[in-house]
């Protein structure tokens, strides 16, 4: 079977099937006030027990939970305690006369659907958090045991439709050597757990995966995304050799962490990481990251019922600044709208929100919100090397207005005698084709660019990558997209403006030599991708990368470009 390889490596073991807890609606309606009271009580008890269970997991020393693990459990508690979910379930019981089981299934299903429909991959992956909340409540309603209660044999490969977020951190993985799931993507919690623990994993394998039987021999190739069931002796021998080779390669990669990202002919670039909070920095530095190319600030605004205060934001940015050890951190200002909606912020419903009221457009229209964030970032800049980046820029006027807001906030801070970095750098994301095509004009106004390839590809190609009918057209190797990127880099460098990239393309090894040859100054990606991109850079020369660009730019289709780049990296 073929899926998505999300954690590289080879594992060979015996299958252990994690059965999904049934979540079928019974359709039984309540007939009396007494029954309603009983169902409300059952729901309340199930939530209480579910929270207590998660709290107990946090205190379990045997699990040796790390900060990112505890964060997942905290998110679980947050969803379990969510007042909106509680209110919706109670309404279904009181008004619609649903029993607690059916009410939970319907409310959680609606919430999961909302998250799953979001364009942003990170927020789309949060649907699993919500589903996990419902599963845990249902388990307690129906007195069922979870996956974490199972005892595993040596060399176990977990096979599941999906693995719940809180289960990924609570599993005793000392005997687990691989994961394979029917569902999931690159940012699913199975992927996060597997990468953090160095366990090979393949997700998104499709329905056929659930035909695997308990104790079947399974091979997982987390690099290619292959899952082989009941292989013959020759195949096992072949993959054991690949397993040994991979171990040797990983040992070599670990030795690269302290080396600069410099080509064989001394062209040096910066390798940064994309993060969501201060705790992510530890993993960035462990993998040789030199700073942060994207701090997503919108996470601070989500999962709550009101805007965070200036003081709350300041503490968040201050913690990042301090933990960054004076390494560069690019802070992206509020990027909401489109698929990232805030319940407490009544953004008007739009027919096409991705072409509507979002990101910098909201900030410039609601300057009180924008200036509060800018003030918090500027105050935190006294504690580290923070930079400010504005998203979704489409014209020069937006840049000038945003800079004027910064200047006004600076003046307020000076008058109040509050310290901040007077020379803080300002940059913009290049993710709209109009911005890419006028990069020469925009470069006169800012200190740096960061190319957001996810949206740039989507807008340039007129492709909704979530639409199965056209998602095959979405590729950053489209010749038109490559020309836009090359234009941005060339025009920026004429004005001596630094150019980074924080989109998905930056973490694609196939794209590394192309971007390097175009002159990209900084690659920013997930922490796990850093060593792999560094290996490509230090194993090749800048002159070779320039030759690669010349040949690629002569090609007229993405298929030829991809095939050529695969040959180059062999």
Yes or no: say if 464 and 441 are a contact pair by the CB < 8 Å rule.
Answer: no
Yes or no: say if 195 and 528 are a contact pair by the CB < 8 Å rule.
Answer: yes
Yes or no: say if 545 and 511 are a contact pair by the CB < 8 Å rule.
Answer: no
Q: Please, where in the chain does CATH 1.10.274.10 lie?
A: 33-141
- Rounded CA-CA distance 453/499 in Å is 13
Domain at 4-18+147-252, CATH class: alpha beta
**Residue spans of alpha helices (H) in 233-383:** 233-254, 281-286, 310-323, 360-365, 367-380
**Residue spans of alpha helices (H) in 324-452:** 360-365, 367-380, 396-415, 433-437, 439-442
Strands (DSSP E) found in 249-335 = 270-275, 292-296, 329-332
- Rounded CA-CA distance 309/255 in Å is 43
Question: Contacts by 111-116 with C-beta closer than 8 Å and gap 24+?
Answer: 111/85
Yes or no: say if 540 and 489 are a contact pair by the CB < 8 Å rule.
Answer: no
- Rounded CA-CA distance 130/111 in Å is 7
Q: What is the pTM of this model?
A: 0.67
Q: DSSP secondary structure string, 212-229?
A: PPTT-EEEEETTTTEEEE
Residue listed under structure tokens 């992206």: 332
As its CATH architecture, domain 33-141 has: Orthogonal Bundle (1.10)
Q: Please, where in the chain does CATH 3.50.30.10 lie?
A: 4-18+147-252
In 3D, which of 192, 199, 188, 57 has the Cα closest to residue 124? 188
| One pLDDT digit (tens) per residue for the chain, 570 residues | 999 888 888 999 999 887 666 667 888 899 999 999 999 999 999 999 889 888 887 887 666 666 666 777 788 888 888 888 999 999 999 999 999 999 999 999 888 888 777 766 666 667 777 887 888 898 888 876 555 545 678 899 999 888 765 565 666 677 889 999 998 776 566 776 676 677 899 998 988 999 999 999 999 999 889 999 999 999 999 999 999 998 888 777 778 888 999 999 999 999 999 988 898 898 899 889 999 999 988 778 776 667 889 999 999 999 999 999 999 999 999 886 554 555 556 666 656 666 766 789 888 988 999 999 999 999 999 999 999 999 999 999 999 999 999 999 999 999 999 999 999 999 999 999 999 999 999 999 999 999 999 889 989 999 876 565 776 788 999 999 999 999 999 999 999 999 999 988 998 899 999 999 999 999 998 887 898 899 999 999 999 999 999 999 999 999 999 999 999 998
In 3D, which of 183, 106, 160, 91 has the Cα closest to residue 137? 106
Bridge-partner residues for 227, per DSSP?
220
In 3D, which of 24, 215, 60, 42 has the Cα closest to residue 148? 60
**Catalytic residue chosen out of the listed positions 189, 476, 498, 532:** 189
Yes or no: say if 256 and 538 are a contact pair by the CB < 8 Å rule.
Answer: yes
b (16+ CB within 10 A) / e for 303-314: eeeebbeeeebb
Q: Could you tell me the strand order of the sheet in which 226-229 lies?
A: 4-7, 201-203, 176-181, 156-160, 10-18, 217-221, 226-229
- Rounded CA-CA distance 23/108 in Å is 11
Identify the DSSP state of 337.
B
User: Is 143 noted as a catalytic residue in this protein?
Assistant: no
Per-residue model confidence (pLDDT) at position 456: 93
Q: Please, where in the chain does CATH 3.20.20.60 lie?
A: 270-568
- Rounded CA-CA distance 526/538 in Å is 19
Q: Write the CA distances from 552 to 270, 500, 555, 568, integer angstroms.
A: 23, 21, 5, 11
Q: Which H/E stretch holds residue 515?
A: helix 509-518
Bridge-partner residues for 356, per DSSP?
none
Two structure tokens written together for 538: 């230090």
Bridge-partner residues for 15, per DSSP?
157
**Residue spans of alpha helices (H) in 81-172:** 83-94, 100-116, 121-125, 127-141, 165-170
In 3D, which of 292, 378, 285, 356 has the Cα closest to residue 328? 292
Residue listed under structure tokens 């990669």: 253
**Catalytic residue chosen out of the listed positions 140, 498, 502, 532:** 502
User: Is 189 noted as a catalytic residue in this protein?
Assistant: yes
Q: Write the CA distances from 193 to 6, 187, 389, integer angstroms.
A: 10, 10, 30
Domain at 270-568, CATH class: alpha beta
Per-residue model confidence (pLDDT) at position 332: 96
Per-residue model confidence (pLDDT) at position 125: 66
User: Given its phi and psi angles, is residue 467 left (phi above 0), alpha (psi -120 to 50 degrees) or beta?
Assistant: beta
Q: Write the CA distances from 510 to 100, 519, 551, 554, integer angstroms.
A: 50, 16, 14, 17
329-332 and 386-390 beta bridge pairing: parallel
């Amino acid at each position: 079977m073929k899926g998505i390889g999300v954690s590289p490596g080879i594992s060979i073991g015996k299958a252990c099937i994690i059965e999904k807890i049934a979540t079928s609606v019974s359709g039984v309606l309540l007939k009396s006030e007494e029954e309603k009271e009983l169902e409300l009580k059952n729901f309340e008890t199930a939530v209480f027990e579910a929270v207590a269970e998660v709290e107990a997991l946090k205190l379990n020393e045997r699990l040796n939970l790390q900060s990112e693990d505890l964060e997942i459990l905290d998110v679980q508690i947050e969803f379990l305690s969510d007042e909106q979910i509680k209110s919706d379930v109670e309404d279904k019981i009181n008004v619609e006369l649903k029993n607690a089981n059916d009410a939970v299934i319907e409310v959680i299903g609606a919430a999961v659907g909302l998250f799953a429909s979001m364009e942003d991959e990170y927020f789309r992956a949060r649907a699993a958090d919500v589903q996990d909340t419902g599963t845990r409540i249902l388990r307690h309603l129906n007195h069922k045991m979870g996956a974490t209660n199972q005892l595993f044999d040596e060399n176990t490969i977990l096979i599941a439709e999906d693995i719940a977020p809180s289960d990924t951190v609570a599993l005793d993985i000392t005997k687990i050597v691989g994961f394979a799931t029917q569902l999931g993507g690159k940012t699913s919690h199975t992927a996060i757990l597997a990468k953090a623990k160095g366990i090979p994993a393949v997700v998104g394998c499709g329905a056929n995966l659930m035909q695997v039987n308990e104790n079947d021999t399974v091979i997982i190739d987390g690099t290619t995304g292959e899952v082989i069931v009941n292989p013959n002796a020759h195949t096992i021998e072949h993959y054991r050799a690949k397993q040994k080779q991979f171990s040797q390669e990983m040992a070599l990669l670990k030795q690269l962490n302290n080396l600069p990202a410099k080509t064989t002919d001394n062209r040096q670039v910066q390798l940064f990481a994309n993060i969501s909070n201060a705790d992510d920095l530890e993993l960035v530095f462990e993998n040789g990251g030199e700073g942060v190319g994207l701090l997503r600030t919108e996470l601070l605004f989500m999962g709550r019922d009101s805007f965070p205060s200036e003081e709350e934001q300041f503490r968040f940015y201050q913690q990042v600044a301090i933990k960054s050890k004076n390494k560069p951190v690019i802070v992206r200002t509020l990027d909401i709208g489109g698929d990232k909606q805030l319940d407490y912020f009544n953004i008007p419903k739009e027919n096409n929100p991705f072409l509507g009221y979002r990101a910098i457009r909201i900030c410039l229209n609601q300057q009180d919100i924008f200036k509060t964030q800018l003030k918090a970032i500027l105050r935190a800049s006294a504690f580290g090397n923070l930079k400010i980046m504005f998203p979704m820029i489409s014209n020069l006027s937006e840049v000038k207005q945003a800079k004027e807001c910064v200047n006004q906030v600076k003046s307020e801070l000076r008058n109040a005698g509050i310290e901040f970095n007077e020379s803080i750098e300002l940059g913009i994301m290049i993710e709209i084709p109009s911005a890419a095509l006028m990069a020469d004009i925009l470069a006169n106004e800012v200190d740096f660019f960061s190319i957001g390839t996810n949206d740039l590809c989507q807008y340039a190609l007129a492709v909704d990558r979530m639409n199965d009918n056209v998602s095959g057209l979405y590729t950053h190797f489209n010749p038109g997209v490559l020309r836009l990127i090359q234009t941005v880099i060339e025009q920026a460098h004429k004005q001596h403006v630094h150019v980074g990239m924080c989109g998905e393309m930056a973490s694609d090894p196939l794209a590394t030599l192309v971007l390097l040859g175009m002159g990209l100054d900084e690659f920013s990606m997930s922490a796990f991708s850093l060593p792999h991109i560094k290996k490509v850079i230090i194993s090749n020369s800048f002159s070779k990368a320039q030759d690669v660009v010349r040949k690629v730019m002569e090609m007229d289709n993405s298929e030829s470009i991809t095939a050529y780049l695969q040959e180059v990296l062999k």
